[in-house]
Amino acid sequence: MSAEYIALMNVAARIARQAGDLVYAGRRAGAGTVQTKSSATDMVTEWDAASEQLILQQLGLVRPDDSIIGEEGTQIVGTSPYTWFVDPIDGTTNFLYNLSGYAISIAACIGVEPVAAAVFLPATRELFVAAQGHGAWLGSNPLRVSSCESLDTALIGTGFSYSSARRDAQGQRISRLLPHVRDIRRCGAAAADLCFVACGRLDAYFEEGLQSWDLAAGQLIASEAGAKISNFSGEPITPSEVLVSTPGIHSSLIASL
Instruction: List residues binding ligand LIP (CB under 6 A).
Output: 71, 87, 90-92, 159-160, 162, 189-190, 207, 214
In angstroms, what CA-CA distances link 144 with 45, 60, 97?
34, 33, 31
By beta-carbon proximity to ligand LIP, the closer residue of 87 and 241 is: 87
Q: Residue with the closest Cβ to ligand LIP?
A: 159
Give the nearest distance from C-beta 81 to ligand LIP in angstroms: 26
Closest distance to ligand LIP from the beta carbon of 65 (Å): 27
> Which CB, 20 or 159, lies closer to ligand LIP?
159
Residue 41 vs 251, nearer CB to ligand LIP: 41
- Cβ closer to ligand LIP: 214 or 241? 214
Q: Name the strands in the sheet holding 126-131, side by side, starting at the edge strand that comes first in the sequence.
A: 75-76, 67-70, 82-90, 103-110, 113-121, 126-131, 135-138, 141-142
Question: In sequence order, which residues have a C-beta less than 8 Å from that of residue 68 and are 6 or more positions away?
Answer: 56, 59, 74, 75, 76, 78, 83, 84, 86
Contact between residue 160 and residue 186 where contact means Cβ atoms under 8 Å apart: yes
State in angstroms the smallest separation of the CB of 2 from ligand LIP. 29
State in angstroms the smallest separation of the CB of 209 from ligand LIP. Answer: 8
CB of 213 to ligand LIP, least distance (A): 8
The smaller minimum CB distance to ligand LIP, of residues 92 and 219, is found at 92
How many CB atoms lie under 10 A from the CB of residue 115?
24
Diameter over CA atoms, the chain: 51
